[in-house]
Structure 1
């Protein structure tokens, strides 16, 4: 971490601690000195990273009292300045319930409007999911990419933008879910959605997209995560 982007890399490391739940809302985090030693960087780089997190309202610095993780809600993050979103599991469920409403219609519109080329791209994403089913990081990336492609296929600028914002919201929790429950359900459900879109059956695509979102919600509620 000694290149010109050291503070950005420090920012990523601090974000990881928050995303993983190691640092929870309301918790006081390490001092600049402690972070500097742990990450093997200068205090200046740590200070710059913390100032960015303060600006993004992810942490709060209290004069003479240290730095604390903020209690964050999904609404805070509908802001294009924030590259990664920190959500507890309840907030994650709120996002999934939002997807339960929006994704079936997105699948319907995509089926009606998308090009054959986009269908080919969806198939590539699905094949990559199958290929990387034993690599949760890569599998999650392809899963999110698959849904991004569906939003692109709607040709609706608002659906596309909202999906881009939600991608980073979902990324870390999706990985946690797949690590806990495995990718099998995701693979089979994406295949059903893909086939319905390929067959230009908007009604069926909508039904399978809804079932996929609903199954994910139920899995989380039953998993104890």
Structure 2
């Protein structure tokens, strides 16, 4: 078996030990040599698996001190989505349909839970969006920042993490869409969402977030 495929099997084996609780947070895992002996694979394959898990923040390597299991919050389990999302950058419609399902409830929770400080940050982000109406790169950055703030307002770690994962994938597509159709629709819709959140009107926030997602999908279909 090739080293790449072997390292994936090693990674799955280590993940299973961690996710089932056999290896607990803070615990030092066995050395690369012992792992290679236990799994009957090369040290190269073990090292590759360890590096991947460290990148996903599931374990931490300490120079000269060994490798330790991290304390895994819910958001860590979503890190494995990142390679898939990067590879599937062209599935913009799939992402928009996912947002159509999630963003209304995200806006609803934000309206219920957002602090006054976060609402001020949303307002600031919206004002910057308006000021960048002739610069689609900066406008898109503020658009995505606005949605990031809404996710933070939910105080839900999974929602925040999913938004973070989607943000980089969305940036190119969102900018292309705005360059083709202009920012006016986005500016108006973000204002409605913002006002609903400021007024703590969770139902209205969800309705406007849904309309915003639906309009974006409709615009993309027209372009295609």
Q: Which interval holds the TM-score relative to the shorter structure?
A: 0.5 to 0.7
Task: Give the CA deviation at 1:156.
Answer: 0.4
Contact 1:85 1:168 in 2 (8 A): no
Q: Which residue of 1 aligns with 2:145?
A: 145
The answer to whether structure 1 residue 175 and structure 2 residue 175 are counterparts is yes
1:72-151 equivalence runs, <5 A: 79-80=81-82, 87-88=89-90, 91-151=91-151
Q: Which residue of 2 aligns with 1:162?
A: 162
Task: Give the CA deviation at 1:87.
Answer: 2.0
Task: Give the CA deviation at 1:180.
Answer: 0.4
Give the alignment's TM-score, normalised by structure 1: 0.62
Distance 1:85 1:133, change over 3 A: farther
Task: Give the superposed CA RMSD.
Answer: 1.9
Q: Which residue of 2 aligns with 1:222?
A: 222
Task: Give the CA deviation at 1:169.
Answer: 1.1
- Please give the per-residue CA displacement for 1:21-51, whole angstroms capped at 9, x wherever unaligned: xxxxxxxxxxxxxxxxxxxxxxxxxxxxxxx
| Runs (5+) with no aligned partner, structure 1 | 1-54, 56-76
| Runs (5+) with no aligned partner, structure 2 | 1-51, 53-78
CA distance in 2, matches of 1:169, 1:218: 20
Q: Which residue of 1 aligns with 2:30?
A: none
Task: Give the CA deviation at 1:79.
Answer: 3.6
Q: Which residue of 2 aligns with 1:184?
A: 184
Contact 1:119 1:198 in 2 (8 A): yes
